[in-house]
Amino acid sequence: MRKTGKFPCDGKHSNRSHVVSNNDNSAIVLAYFHVNPHTSVRAVSAETNISVGSIHKILKENKYYPFKLTFVYLRPTDEIRRLEFLAWFATIYEENPCILDRIMWTDESKFTNNDIVNTLTHNAII
């Protein structure tokens, strides 16, 4: 500390760059995610010595967003339920053609095949 005026970094990330983003770092990070879009931010950080926070900022600046892919398998009864919903909605639409204007459309939703609905982010009739 007497030599540098800073506390010594004795952790495993002591050589990691703290530069938030520059053209070189952005190109490196975007290339990693272009080659393997399923890789993690932490894995890219370990490979490139760019901090996790910097990688998040680079991705955000370039309009990359995190997501988690979830597979949901349809059951044989799901087809009947979908057709029942369409029949119900067709009836509602005939009664009130403006019903589509009363639905709050969002870009987030979670559907499962066991009747669990994410009530915080699903489309709702208002």
9 inside domain: no
15 inside domain: no
Query: Tens digits of per-residue pLDDT, 13-68?
Result: 555 444 455 788 899 999 998 898 888 899 999 988 899 989 999 998 888 877 66
What pTM did the predictor assign?
0.43
Q: Are residues 82 and 121 in the same domain?
A: yes
51 inside domain: yes
Long-range contacts of 7-12 (CB under 8 A, 24+ apart): none
Count of domains for the chain: 2
14 inside domain: no
C-alpha distances out from residue 43 to 12, 28, 108, 124, Å: 14, 13, 27, 38
Answer with the residue of higher pLDDT: 119 or 99. Answer: 99
5 inside domain: no
67 inside domain: no
Domain that holds residue 28: 23-61
